[in-house]
Structure 1
Amino acid sequence: MSNAPDVILLVDDDAAVRNALKFSLGMEGFTVRLYATPEALLAEDELPAGSCLVIDYRMPAIDGLELVERLRSRGVTLPVFLISGRVTPSLRVRAASLGIDGVLEKPLSELVVSIRRVLDARP
């Protein structure tokens, strides 16, 4: 049996990407909560335990790395996957320094497998 999270928290400023990922992850049995902006996620008082974050890297105002930095400073230790249209070695290094579990390049054929692998490895 999988240790699937209660919910995937998805932050992406592109509505088409949000909706496509919600559909795809929903087909895999995940509940998906959508956020159009990093600020919308940051406005949440409490994030559900057992959830997983999927965050777009390039967004206006606050990029995905800054969002993760702000969440980490608030004590949020949920697993995080950063998604981007272009992944560079320096982006991977910066993401790893924040404890991000994976950096995936769009299209996201490996997203579900990556989420399950990280969550199944939790104690």
Structure 2
Amino acid sequence: MPGIAECVLVVDDYLAVRRSLRFALEMEGLTVRTYGSGAELLADPDLASCGCLVIDCNMPGMNGIELVERLEERQQHCPVILITSGAAHDLAECSVHLDILDVLEKPLEDNALLDHIHAALAAARIRT
């Protein structure tokens, strides 16, 4: 099993987004697990092996902010990167009070997400 620092969990309700992120991140040598909803992520008994989370903010049912709140209630802490199709600056205030490392606006430009993931994984290594 890969080390914690190498594992990225992606939560997005769009299958095409999950597949493209998995492909791009695996091409960078990262281990990726994907989930179609917050409920699906919360049902995974292996969350402790997470190096970082990439969570879509705008999902039906439980949105990204609610998912991070649930994770914090469970004392499951790992760096979180929120991705949103809305205005990222509107979420920045919420992220200060939660365990959210960064908020990125779609469409994701160049290597922005990958750079933030590497920073999040470095933070996870320090925590462990």
Aligned pair 1:28/2:28, yes or no? Answer: yes
Spell out, residue by residue over 1:22-75, the C-alpha distance to the aligned partner (whole angstroms, 9 max, x if none). 111111111110101111001122313352110000001100000000001000
Cα distance in 2 between the residues matched to 1:53 and 1:120:
13
Q: Which residue of 2 aligns with 1:6?
A: 6
Of stretches 98-107 and 81-90 in structure 1, the one that deviates more from structure 2 is 81-90
| Corresponding position of 2:81 | 81
User: TM-score, normalization: structure 2?
Assistant: 0.86
1:97 CA displacement: 1.2
**Structure having the larger proportion of residues in helix:** 2
Letter in 1 for 2:100: I
Aligned length: 121
Which letter does structure 1 place at the counterpart of 2:55? Answer: I
Instruction: From the superposition, tell whether residues 41 and 50 of structure 1 become closer, same or farther in structure 2 (CA, over 3 Å).
Output: closer
CA contact (8 A) 1:7 1:48 kept: no
1:57 matched residue in structure 2: 57
* Large movers: runs of 4+ above 3 Å: none
Give the match for residue 43 of structure 1: 43
Q: Does 1:19 align with 2:19?
A: yes
Matched residues, percent identical? 45
C-alpha change, 1:6 and 1:120, in structure 2 (3 Å) is closer
Distance 2:79 2:5 in 1: 10
Give the Cα separation in 2 of the matches to 1:102 and 1:51.
Answer: 15
TM-score by length of 1: 0.89
